[in-house]
Amino acid sequence: SAVISQKPSRDICQRGTSLTIQCQVDSQVTMMFWYRQQPGQSLTLIATANQGSEATYESGFVIDKFPISRPNLTFSTLTVSNMSPEDSSIYLCSVLGPPANEKLFFGSGTQLSVL
């Protein structure tokens, strides 16, 4: 299995500011994924972060709004830039875990509220 630590667990931010969310994994993983979960909703994939290359964004998400870093095989960050109340969501990082890389492991998420 993979253990994922995500920080912060929650934050309340002012509109127009940015927040960087950190995701630390206890083992080396190739693929990391960032999801958004809007209030009462399911999960929507934001982007895939692979070490050594630029993140791949899904339709509706852009790098300027959600820049992602992936400096090594155990760490990634997602920044939510120029926030507005519509960005209030839970943000989750996940990885494909060992042994067969066939299941996603998730962090506990970052509950973001934008005022």
Partner 1 sequence: TQLLEQSPQFLSIQEGENLTVYCNSSSVFSSLQWYRQEPGEGPVLLVTVVTGGEVKKLKRLTFQFGDARKDSSLHITAAQTGDTGLYLCASDPRGGDKLIFGTGTRLQVFP
Smallest separation, CB 6 to partner 1 (Å):
8
* Closest to partner 1 by CB, 15 or 61: 61
* Closest to partner 1 by CB, 75 or 106: 106
Cα 87 to chain centroid, rounded: 13
Residue with tokens 């970052």: 110
Which neighbouring-strand residues pair with 56? 48
* Closest to partner 1 by CB, 13 or 104: 104
CB 23 within 8 A of CB 108: no
Smallest separation, CB 90 to partner 1 (Å):
9
Smallest separation, CB 66 to partner 1 (Å):
16
Binding site for partner 1 (CB under 8 A): 4, 31, 33, 35, 40-45, 48, 58, 92, 94, 96, 101-109
Smallest separation, CB 76 to partner 1 (Å):
15
Cα separation values, 115 from 21, 23, 46, 97, 104, Å: 18, 24, 22, 36, 32
Cβ neighbours of 70 (radius 10 Å): 20
